Amino acid sequence: MKVKLTKFDALIVVDVQKDFMPGGALPVPEGDKVVKPLNQYIELFSEKGLPVFFTRDWHPKDHISFKGHGGVWPPHCVQDTEGAQFHPDLIIPSDNKFIISKGTSRDFDAYSGFQGTTLDSLLKERGIRRIFVGGVATDYCVKNTVLGGINLGYFAFLLLDAIKGVDVKPGDSEKAIEEMLNAGAVCLTYQELE
């Protein structure tokens, strides 16, 4: 079955930032492998005039999620640092694109692109009903963005060919995918788009 894109669709590219890539402060294994497939989706959505949303961690340097400030992660994606920049090969269209910064205040952690951001209102004012989600990491911010979208009433497609997980515990990514499917998400690859 092919999925046809409509004016009710938006692409959400989750956290494709240097710190989450190999060599970064908090690398997702093979995280850079999502860039090429995501670029295909970005080009397709852009050609059709559909909005593309880029979420990013944009943390203050004393963020609650950091080790030393009560959290479990090494410092990453600190505002205005090199590590917080998007992967240099990621296509950022000149129009109909939105940068969504999350985890911007010290005391609030956000794994979902919807938490404490304008993402939901930006989608709603454009009449968006279906979201297509890819990026990193499958078992954290991708999962929480998909689940957050479903909870807010969006139909969510998980872009299976454009996600990578951390797998702190082996199998975390598979479990996350299962959790998203159980919540109503549908898996999709580029070949299945019309």
- Just list the catalytic residues: 15, 102, 141
Q: How many CB atoms lie within 10 A of CB 134?
A: 27
Q: Give the Cα separation of 59 and 118 in Å (integer).
A: 17
Amino acid at 37: P
Nearest to 28 by CA among 113, 143, 112, 138: 138
* CA-based max dimension of the chain: 49
Q: Give the Cα separation of 136 and 145 in Å (integer).
A: 11
**Token match 């710190």: residue?**
19
Q: Give the Cα separation of 94 and 102 in Å (integer).
A: 21
Is it true that the peptide bond before 156 is cis, omega within 30 degrees of 0? no
